[in-house]
Amino acid sequence: MPELPEVETTRRGIAPHCEGQRITQVTVRNASLRWPVPDDLAERLEGQTIRTVDRRAKYLFLNLDGGTVIVHLGMSGSLRVISDQAPPMTHDHVELKLQSGVVLRFNDPRRFGCWLWSDAADSHPLIASLGPEPLSAEFNGGMLYRLSRSKKTPVKSFIMDNHVVVGVGNIYANEALFKAGIHPRRQAGRISLDRYHLLAEAIRETLSAAILMGGTTLRDFVNSDGKPGYFAQSLLVYGRTGAPCPECETTLKEIRMNNRSTVYCHRCQR
């Protein structure tokens, strides 16, 4: 599933082509996504100008004068800016033709993504209860420490909770916990403030690096230009079960947590 770095990479890829552009035509080929595409989407969008393209967690916002289109890529979705001469592919479900002549096309083989309309995106039920952005000033070790008190849940599950902080998906949780030297099963409430400072910095560092490298390519994900991300080549532990730890050369172990692969070094992570 595309995570925060992949979604941010997509935002940066499409924004220069979309911002300031008037929508001249909306085509919905298949409205049966995770939630049905609104029947009146074309009526709402045609003739409006995309003012900004923003991101909140893993949601993209196409901000217009009269409201916002909330887009989620789901498990296999992608947004591409293409020539209007390019014929649609099998899973191209929604597209916006822009005044410049290019097309913003949404492809989603599994159809777990969404295109929704909101008059006020920040108060939408999908958005209102989300935690802070991990690259914002609001997110820090002190915040994690305060929220974790009395929590018996494993720290990996804690930092993957979107009510605590958004965008720390499975891959990036593995990597950040390794960098901070924290065992993924350690109870969140039993981690000190100093170690949470280390973890918050590791989360910021990991996500920032992934964004710079265009995200992590796993299975379906490609950028808005159709090119894969390269952060997977820099992963320290995720996907490296049985390989030597990059720090101490101890064999990396794998466990399952909430049906997710969790790779760690039993010597470096406590």
Residues within the annotated binding site?
91, 110, 151
Task: Quote the tokens at residue 198.
Answer: 């280390």
Indicate if 227 belongs to the active site: no
Indicate if 97 belongs to the active site: no
Residue with tokens 């532990």: 237
Indicate if 58 belongs to the active site: yes
d(CA 19, CA 133) in angstroms, rounded, equals 23
- H or E element at residue 15: helix 4-18
Of 3, 8, 95, 175, which residue is the catalytic one?
3
d(CA 44, CA 203) in angstroms, rounded, equals 38
Indicate if 111 belongs to the active site: no
Residue 258 CB contacts under 8 Å (≥ 6 apart), including other chains: 157
Task: Quote the tokens at residue 201.
Answer: 């910095």
CB atoms within 10 A of CB 17: 18
Q: Which residue numbers belong to the known binding site for DNA?
A: 91, 110, 151
Contact 23, 69 (CB under 8 A): no
Of 11, 55, 58, 97, which residue is the catalytic one?
58
* Residues with active-site annotation: 2-3, 58, 260
